[in-house]
Amino acid sequence: MKEFGREELVVCDKRSNRIPSLSLVGGEPLGEIANTPDYDRIMGRLSKLGAAFLRLVAIAGPVLFGLLTALYVGRPSPYYLATGITVAVAVVACDGWIIARRHWITGGFALATQIVLLIFVGTYMASPLPAPSPLSDPLPQASPPGGMAIYALPTGVNHRTAAFAYRGGSPWDKRDSVSTAVLVRHPQGDLLIDTGLGRSIAEQMKQFPFLFRLGTELVRFQAAADQLDAAGYDRRRLRYILLTHAHWDHISGVPDFPGIPVLVTAAERGFIEEGGWATAQAKSMNAVFQEYAFDGGPYMGFTQSRDLYGDGSIVIVPAPGHTPGSVVVFVTLSGGARYAFVGDLVWQLEGLLEREERPWFEARTLGEDPVLLRQTLLRMSAIATRYPQITIVPSHDPRGYASIPEWSRSATR
Ligand SMILES: [Zn+2]
Ligand SMILES: [Zn+2]
């Protein structure tokens, strides 16, 4: 025991593991505190808890890392990145502890989850589909009437990454995933291809699963209805809303156009009834759905088609896979410009040009039909190769809209 004036420091007798005495200022002894069996038990429990925590980190850490990866590619937030790096470092440290202590059973489980993680990360790697047989048909005839025009109405954007959109995309390549409605003006009646985000998107978002909201950073612009109203657009000219498919981000603005018929295929109508949270809005919005059939013949490699106004200016073809009743809308203007609105067949152009599917996790979450999607993707890929004069417009890729004038900025509307 070493004394410092009247104070006395505690010095543990290591041999007996006892604390011989303790006194405070004033020198009054508190008595001998023995390192009792209780103390040993507490220390033993703490040690077991610590070991259990390290085991948990080693086994569950890779699962958490996988989840953070999925969140980060959908919403490249620095918080997900920092947490992911911390988890990865912790897992490696725990692996070292397991090896040093030779906890081989725990190590086996940890190895298993880490292998699953590697397989999961591998589903984001490039895996291009084989090139389809080339098309040889000439470009289909069209007789678009004078006075046709097309406008883009951007309604919002999600900040995502290329890795989220297609296999082989980089997680460091940030991409804007836009939500844009397209107005096609036609003498027989204007058409809105999808509606983008509507006036009530904030309320609609509240119904989405928590995990989806965690992985989504949505920035809203003016709704399509407000953009049209602001420019004094005569709504009586709007004949139809034509959906590429019924997912929330395409149908959100439908309630802003009460009474306007919403054109859908029978397959998509069935999907709306059974499609879960992604079509819950479509199901509950009392839209005037109007089904149409593909009564036309083959069109650019597709076996069926629907020529909406009979002049070849707006031709719809079935493109199932992303949803059962997804379609591609081909638009030909009187000036000769041609567009293919492919909806969510791909989220970014690379998906089509490099024949890369959506990553497994994203496709799985959407409940896509991978076989049908692959067929449609290859068919559109062949079209993109054969007819480079057609502008391919994936719904969420801003590059697709580069040649389409924006409604709110156009002086000639
Ligand atoms: Zn979709
Ligand atoms: Zn979409």
| pLDDT in the model for residue 27 | 45
Say what the pLDDT of residue 249 is: 93
pLDDT value at 301 more than 80: yes
% of the chain residues with pLDDT over 70: 91
pLDDT at position 281: 80
Q: Tens of pLDDT along 86-144?
A: 999 999 999 999 999 888 999 999 999 999 999 999 999 999 999 999 998 889 999 99
pLDDT confidence tier of residue 209, bands split at 50, 70 and 90: confident
User: Is the pLDDT at 10 greater than 60, yes or no?
Assistant: no
| Residue 410: pLDDT over 90 | no
Ligand of minimum distance to the alpha carbon of 373? 1
CA of 241 to the centre of ligand 2 (A): 16
User: What pLDDT is recorded for position 25?
Assistant: 43
CA 341 to centroid of ligand 2, rounded, Å: 12
Cα(406) to ligand 2 centroid in Å equals 20
Q: How far is the CA of 292 from the centre of ligand 2 (A)?
A: 21
Per-chain mean pLDDT for the chain:
89
Residue 242 CB-half CA count within 13 A: 27
- 412 pLDDT band, cuts 50/70/90, is low
Buried b (16+ CB within 10 A) or exposed e, 152-182: bbbbbbbbbbbbbbbbbbebeeebebbbbbb
pLDDT at residue 60 greater than cutoff 60:
yes
Report the pLDDT value the prediction gives residue 61, as an integer from 0 to 100: 95
Q: In angstroms, what is the span from residue 247 Cα to ligand 1's centroid?
A: 5
Residue 325 CA: which ligand is closest? 1
Q: Which ligand is closest in space to the CA of residue 178? A: 2
- Residue 20 — pLDDT band, cuts 50, 70, 90? very low
Report pLDDT digits (tens) over 302-347: 999 999 999 999 999 999 999 999 999 999 998 899 999 999 999 9
- Which structure tokens are listed for 76? 């490249």
Over residues 137-159, the pLDDT tens digits come to: 889 999 999 989 999 999 999 99
Tell me how far the alpha carbon of residue 55 lies from the centroid of ligand 2, in angstroms. Answer: 41
User: Average pLDDT, stretch 280-290?
Assistant: 87
Tens digit of each residue's pLDDT (9 = 90 or more) over 233-276:
999 999 999 999 999 999 999 999 999 999 999 999 999 988 77
Question: How remote is the CA of residue 22 from the centroid of ligand 2, in Å?
Answer: 70
CA 393 / ligand 1 centre spacing (Å): 14
Does the pLDDT of residue 284 top 90, yes or no? Answer: no
Asked whether residue 12 carries a pLDDT value surpassing 50, the answer given is no
